[in-house]
Structure 1
Amino acid sequence: MRANIERFLIINLGILIMASGLYYFLIPANLATGGVTGLAMVVNKIFPFISIGIIMIISNFILFALAFLLIGKDFGGYTIYSSFLLSGVIYIFEIITPLHEPIIKDIMLNLIYGILIQGIGMGMVFYRNSSTGGTDIAAKILNKFFHVDIGKALFLADFLIVFFAGLAFGIEMGLYALLGILANTYIIDKVIAGFNTKMNIMIISEKSEAINQYIIHEINRGTTLYVGDGGFSKNRKTIINTVVDKKQYVKIRNYVKVTDPSAFITVGFVHEVLGEGFNLSL
């Protein structure tokens, strides 16, 4: 239950952040940086009599069907929810703060801030096994069946749209959009990696038994024990190795400082952990 609530909250926060980047920076500047939104902007530019909303509905309907068939009901259900929520939040922004022109005149600033904000939000949504529809679904399919990182998969899915954006809005806008999806690739993968980051800890201490028991019973993490000889002292020592998240590392570090101030601790960052007690990463 707690995990589901956490997932729900992270997805909602991600959608809110993503909508802010789209509405206040990318859409007003005509920066069609991929996605069904970008596709709809391009088609509407070429065929003004076709509503952007209609294009998005038809495109998303096809992609939603693929999400359910190829990825599963859980992902498909959350994707539909996220897609409607994103549209709803943008609609609320339109009512609360209507925009008739970009807030910032500089197109590069719109691109930088729009992509940064949108990418953070999108990374949060992807991390919790959802998407906002559109080419996000195509990216998830590529990720599942071809094991391509989500950010890179999204770049592949959006590249064609950006190409046509260049034809519709001009080569300059197309190049800006290309720069945008490249940056988006990097940001999304970094956000997901940040959520997945764990700490690999090795502890050498005279109080190894007490520390080991604390990690197992208080932190609820497994440990691996090694026995080694000190290169200088020649004394036999027990080495504790464990993988924990950042909050758990802080608790362990504080406990070790109190229990054995002379303990030796090394810490390494791990970006993917598979196995019991850890969620499978994207």
Structure 2
Amino acid sequence: MSQHKSSATPVQDIIYLILGVLSASFALRSFLVPNHFLDGGITGISLLLHEVFHWHLGLVIVLINIPLIIMGMYQIGKHFAIRTMLAVIAIAICLQYMPFPEITHDKLLVAIFGGFFLGLGIGLSMRGGGAIDGIEVLALFTLKRSSLSITEIILGLNVVIFLIAAFYLQLEVALYAMLTYYIAGQTTKYVIEGIEAYTGVTIISAESDKIKAAMVLALGRGITIYKGERGFMKDSFEVSADCDIVFTVVTRLEVRKLRKLVAEIDSKAFVFTHTINESSGGILKKIVKH
């Protein structure tokens, strides 16, 4: 969560943090708080305490994040902790003094757009090198003391939040909280990965020479070659052959075109893809522009 583009300047980071704070504050004051809605993560805990005990939301957010900021300083770094602290304090100030209007009381719209603007704020703050919702910091801290994965820890924490919400408030509130958290999470993921999402494609084929030529000469792709072995089938485990494993990076819109090209050369080629985050360098930018 602390990684962002190495080319980003301190000014860009500050802009990201400011926009993140404004977006998250807008989501809270204009959508979630007036309609007694919840979210997951640390923000969800803060909203739950605000709803159950009627504590000041800005103060609750600051107090809950203090131990997480301390954890973040040791887990991630001093700059992350400082930026997170400033972002959290800024949210508390915005919640107290900025006159955000109440946009709607339609529950579905509140869940969708409240989650969207909250996720946008969290994602922008993370791109700025800080964090508004520090649940991943807590998960990293717990990870070293358990055999669970970060995803399992975050899921477990959110299940507890939603169960408490269902018990102390209403089941409907918990269900809408799940929807809000899902939308916020997807928005955060999209903001962090960036608009220019790339896909890594790995191709294993007996016709690797033809595929290499087609990708470079026909598609204008840059490729990387790994040396490997094909074969090792169940009925002929001892039989194998050297092969070139072709790897390249394309945009999401180009994946289908690349698969079609490979299929025309070798219909039995093994092709698999995975998402690439924060790609830079090489000829990626040049290819996208043309």
TM-score by length of 2: 0.60
Shift of 1:144: 9.9
Tell me the equivalent position of 2:38: 32
Question: Is the 1:71–1:141 Cα contact (8 Å) retained in structure 2?
Answer: no
Aligned to 1:23: 29
What is the CA distance between 1:187 and its match in structure 2? 2.6
Distance 1:147 1:195, change over 3 A: farther
Task: Give the share of equivalent positions with the same residue, in percent.
Answer: 22
Cα distance, 1:161 vs. partner?
A: 2.1
Tell me how far 1:6 sits from its aligned partner. Answer: 2.3
Please state how far the C-alpha of 1:75 moved relative to its aligned partner: 1.6
Is 1:7 paired with 2:18? no
TM-score of the superposed pair, with normalisation by structure 1? 0.61
Which shows bigger deviation, 166-175 or 30-39? 30-39
1:272 alignment partner AA: I
**Counterparts of 1:49-64 in structure 2 under 5 Å?**
50-64=55-69
- Aligned twin of 1:165: 165
Give the CA RMSD over aligned residues: 4.1
Give the unaligned 5+ runs of structure 1: 213-221, 226-240, 247-268
Q: 1:142 to 1:185 in 2, by over 3 A?
A: farther
Q: 3-state SS of the aligned residue for 1:3?
A: coil
Match of 2:232 in 1: none
Indicate conservation of the 8 Å contact 1:155/1:181, yes or no.
no
Residue type matched to 1:160 in 2? V
Aligned position for 1:218: none
Q: Does 1:272 align with 2:276?
A: yes
* Cα deviations by residue, 1:54-110 (Å, 9 ceiling, x for unpaired): 43333222221111122221221221122122223333433xx4x5xx531211111
Counterpart code for 1:14: G
Alignment-derived partner of residue 259 in structure 1: none
Q: Counterpart of 2:103 in 1: which secondary structure?
A: coil
Deviation at 1:192, TM superposition (A): 2.2
Q: What SS class does the counterpart of residue 204 from structure 1 fall into?
A: helix
Partners of 2:149 and 2:193 lie apart in 1 by 15
Q: 1:31 is aligned with what amino acid?
A: F
Partners of 2:116 and 2:184 within 8 A in 1:
yes
Do 1:14 and 1:121's aligned partners in 2 also have CA atoms closer than 8 Å?
yes
| Structure 2 CA distance for partners of 1:176 and 1:272, relative to 1, 3 Å | same
Q: Deviations over 1:245-265 (max 9, x none)?
A: 99xxxxxxxxxxxxxxxxxxx
Distance 1:62 1:32, change over 3 A: same
SS of the residue 2:36 aligns to: coil
Task: Give the conservation status (yes or no) of the 8 Å contact 2:136–2:150.
Answer: no
**1:20-49 CA-partner distances (Å, limit 9, x unpaired):** 22221111111111344432343344434x
Q: Specify the alignment match of 1:76 in structure 2.
A: 81
Q: Which amino acid aligns with 1:204?
A: L
The amino acid across from 1:43 in the alignment is: L
Q: Structure 2 vs 1, CA of residues 72 and 144 (structure 1 numbering), >3 Å: closer, same or farther? A: farther
Query: 1:181 aligned to 2:181?
Result: yes
- Compared with structure 1, are the counterparts of its residues 175 and 245 closer, same or farther at alpha carbon in structure 2 (3 Å cutoff)? closer
Query: Aligned partner of 2:164: which letter?
Result: F
Q: Distance in 2 between matches of 1:179 and 1:276?
A: 34
* Structure 2 gap ranges (5+): 1-5, 202-214, 226-246, 253-272, 283-290
CA offsets per residue over residues 129-184 of structure 1, 9 Å max, x none? Answer: 421144353256579997746xx875544332232222222111111112222232
Amino acid at match of 2:66: F
